[in-house]
Structure formats: C-alpha cells, structure tokens
Amino acid sequence: MEKEKNIRDILSERYPNFFEENTMRYSHIPKGWDDIFISFLEEAKRYIETSGKGDDFKILQFKQKWFRLTIYHTGGDDYLADLVNKTEAVACNYCSKCGVLVDTNVNEIERGRCLGCKNDSW
C-alpha cells in the first residue's frame, strides 16, 4: 500500500522560503483545510514573484485554534497580511474534517465541522 505523503513534507518541498526551521514542528491543520492552505501559499508565492514585494514573508505557525484556521506570520506587506486574513475567514466556511463547503447562510458550522462530521472523533 502506498503511504500517503505528509502534507507538511509537501509544503516544505514546494514552498521552502515560506517556513522557518521550526514552523512545521509546531504546525498542524486538519485535512479539510489542506486545499485552502495550499491555494493561499500559491497565491502568496505568485504575488511575491510577480510584484517583487514582500519577499521576507514567513509563516511561523499554522494551526487550528478555537476551531478556526490560524496563521501566524512575519514580514511581507499589506497585501500578504490581507491574504492571511482572507484565508482564515474563508476556512470558516469549510468543514475542517471533510473539506465540504457549508452554506453558512443556511447551516452553521459547529466547532469547525459540518453537521455530518460534528460528532466524529478528533
């Protein structure tokens, strides 16, 4: 059976400039938010490459805190800070376990989970 590659290894390989030595040791996000987090890194990378700005942008830690995606960062510029805020806000609409988009106008996400996943173990 093929072993699934750890998301943190993939991130370190793909975006080595974004992470400090200890970032991965203290970071973890639930699987449901992997795509959102990768899209965020892609966007940040593209911005830095095309604008030439914010190349000291570093992610110190990313995790689930109080059921929300939380990204601690340093450096960068206003655009990147805004991108971090948007990413954290967007993740609130997705189930942290299965990644399904929940229409928050109709259904509440409970503790970062869709109603189908809310009673599953952490």
CA atoms within 13 A on the CB side of 57: 25
Closest CB to Zn ion among residues 83, 114:
114
> Which of the stretches 2-10, 23-31, 44-52, 96-104 binds Zn ion when contact is defined by CB under 5 A?
96-104
Residue closer to Zn ion by CB (options 78, 120) is 120
Q: Which is nearer to Zn ion, 61 or 97 (CB)?
A: 97
Which residues 6+ apart lie within 8 Å of 114 measured at CB?
A: 95, 97, 98, 100, 102, 107
Taking the complex as a whole, the smallest distance from the CB of residue 98 to Zn ion amounts, in Å, to 3
By CB under 5 A, residue 11 contacts Zn ion: no
Among 33, 47, 97, 102, contact with Zn ion (rule: CB under 5 A):
97
CA distance 75 to 38: 19
Cα separation of 69 and 66, whole Å?
A: 8
